């Protein structure tokens, strides 16, 4: 349990759903249910101050579960061949166990894609959907163009083999140092836009959260296979990074779901993780010369991740849905931390407009 990492006003519980033991944070005493879903290599602990700010408004009840293999939730292998359906089904089991039949869903990064998958798989449950720094609906890596065209038939350049081995090892070893591949350095360089840095006590909580990522087989980052196509690694079949591969995950059909909750898309203008020029994307790294053998922009250009998100949301709007995009200047991948007041205002105004 992470009780020593909890802020005053935050409670942690564990609930046995019909799928797995799920740990979650809870705050607030209101009657408007909000569910927050965290991103990759993190946990619900990244939401604490955000939750407290929302709870102070006295009208919300906020829940933030840990995804499988993160935080204090049970570690169960992710079947990547189902895309993000394992996570979507876990979320559905969680809200059933809490008897939440109609709620507002907020997903950050990977959590945004989990939220999209939930909206696809479980229509009619959402009052609203907020996507913060969500990944592309066409997966992470391995596609090009606004419509998510596969770069290679085997989706080389996506999946479990694309994670930095030194970073994975640092997580496994519980590294709290400040080396180049340490969780602390990666967080302060990429989760936030430098020179932003959280207060020292919060930074330690965030590092602990990041280190809660389980690097066991079937979780993070997942397995991989060799490929004849650059960069010579393709997705395996288990683990979260493979579940995010376009080989298995394509959420373009979000645009055509029958029950269309209103959508708020928030992202930082200077996000280096989810971007049209992402420093985690092999196409952009190849263009920069950071990965040898890049076959060129015609074959393997940078993945236009934000353009792909916008393409699907525009199609959603054309099919009768409604969405609003807000790009926050001077902000990286974690707007709810870097620009907390702005995001609390945007999110609460949006939620209240849908009550």
What's the CA gap between 79 and 208, in Å, rounded? 26
pLDDT tens for the chain, 355 residues: list them. Answer: 567 899 999 999 999 999 999 999 999 999 999 999 999 999 999 999 999 999 999 999 999 999 999 999 999 999 999 999 999 999 999 999 999 989 999 999 999 999 999 999 999 999 999 999 999 999 999 999 999 999 999 999 999 999 999 999 999 999 999 999 999 999 999 999 999 999 999 999 999 999 999 999 999 999 999 999 999 999 999 999 999 999 999 999 999 999 999 999 999 999 999 999 999 999 999 999 999 999 999 999 999 999 999 999 999 999 999 999 999 999 999 999 999 999 999 999 999 999 7
Strand order in the sheet with 323-328: 11-16, 21-27, 60-65, 32-37, 103-108, 126-132, 263-268, 323-328
Q: Are 130 and 243 in contact (CB under 8 A)?
A: no
Neighbours of 24 (CB within 10 A): 23
Instruction: Residue 109: name the closest of 332, 344, 349 by CA.
Output: 332
Q: Are 136 and 311 in contact (CB under 8 A)?
A: no
What's the CA gap between 120 and 139, in Å, rounded? 15
Cα of first residue to Cα of last residue in the chain, in angstroms, is 34
Up-side HSE of residue 260: CA atoms within 13 Å toward CB?
19
Q: Where are the alpha helices (DSSP H) in the chain?
A: 48-55, 85-97, 110-121, 165-172, 183-186, 200-211, 240-243, 282-288, 305-318, 335-338, 340-353
- The whole-number pLDDT of residue 355 equals 72
Q: Are 184 and 207 in contact (CB under 8 A)?
A: yes
Distances (CA, A) of 158 to 150, 232, 250, 337: 11, 10, 13, 28
What's the CA gap between 63 and 44, in Å, rounded? 9
What's the CA gap between 264 and 110, in Å, rounded? 16
Q: Facing residues of 324 across strands?
A: 264
Q: Are 311 and 147 in contact (CB under 8 A)?
A: yes
Q: Are 323 and 309 in contact (CB under 8 A)?
A: no
Q: Which residues of 244-262 are buried (b: 16+ CB within 10 A; e: fewer)?
A: bbbbbbbbbebbebeebbb
Beta strand residue intervals within 177-329, DSSP E = 224-226, 233-235, 263-268, 323-328
Q: Facing residues of 105 across strands?
A: 35, 129
Neighbours of 202 (CB within 10 A): 16
Neighbours of 5 (CB within 10 A): 19
Q: Which residues of 265-300 are buried (b: 16+ CB within 10 A; e: fewer)?
A: bbbbebbbbbbbbbebbbbbbbbeeeeeebeeeeeb
pTM over 0.85: yes
Structural tokens at position 139: 């997966």
DSSP string, 109-158: THHHHHHHHHHHHSTT-EEEEEEESPPPTT-SSSEETTTTEESSTT-TT-
Instruction: Residue 133: name the closest of 269, 28, 26 by CA.
Output: 269
- The whole-number pLDDT of residue 2 equals 65
- The whole-number pLDDT of residue 183 equals 98
- CA angle 223–166–183, rounded 5-degree value: 105
- Quick one: fold of 3-149+244-353? Rossmann fold (3.40.50)
């Amino acid at each position: 349990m992470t009780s020593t990492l909890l802020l005053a006003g935050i409670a942690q519980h564990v609930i046995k759903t019909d799928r797995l033991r799920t740990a979650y944070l809870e705050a607030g005493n209101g009657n408007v249910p909000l569910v927050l879903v965290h991103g990759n290599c993190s946990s619900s602990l990244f939401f604490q101050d955000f939750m407290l700010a929302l709870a102070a408004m006295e009208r919300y009840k906020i829940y933030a579960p840990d995804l499988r293999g993160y935080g204090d939730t049970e570690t169960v292998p992710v079947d990547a061949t189902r895309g993000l359906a394992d996570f979507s089904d876990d979320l559905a089991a969680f809200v059933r166990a809490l008897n939440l039949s109609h709620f507002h869903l907020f997903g950050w990064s990977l959590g945004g894609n989990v939220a999209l998958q939930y909206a696809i798989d479980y229509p009619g449950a959402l009052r609203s959907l907020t996507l913060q720094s969500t990944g592309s609906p066409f997966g992470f890596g391995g596609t090009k163009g606004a419509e998510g065209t596969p770069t290679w038939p085997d989706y080389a350049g996506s999946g479990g083999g694309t994670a930095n081995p030194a970073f994975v090892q640092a997580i496994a070893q519980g590294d709290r140092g400040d080396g180049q591949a340490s969780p602390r350095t990666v967080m302060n360089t990429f989760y936030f836009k430098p020179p932003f840095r959280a207060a020292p006590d919060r930074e330690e909580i965030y590092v602990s959260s990041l280190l809660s990522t389980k690097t066991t087989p079937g979780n993070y980052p997942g397995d991989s296979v060799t490929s004849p196509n650059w960069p010579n690694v393709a997705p395996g079949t288990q683990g979260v990074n493979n579940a995010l591969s376009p080989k298995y995950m394509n959420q373009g059909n979000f645009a055509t779901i029958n029950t269309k909750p209103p959508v708020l898309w928030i992202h930082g203008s200077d996000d280096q993780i989810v971007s049209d020029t992402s420093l985690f994307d092999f196409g952009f790294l190849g263009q920069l010369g950071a990965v040898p053998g890049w076959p060129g922009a015609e074959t393997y250009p940078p993945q236009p991740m934000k353009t792909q998100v916008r393409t699907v949301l525009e199609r959603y709007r054309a099919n009768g849905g409604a969405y609003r995009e807000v790009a926050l200047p001077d902000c990286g991948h974690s707007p709810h931390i870097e620009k907390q007041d702005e995001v609390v205002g945007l999110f609460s105004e949006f939620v209240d407009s849908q009550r």
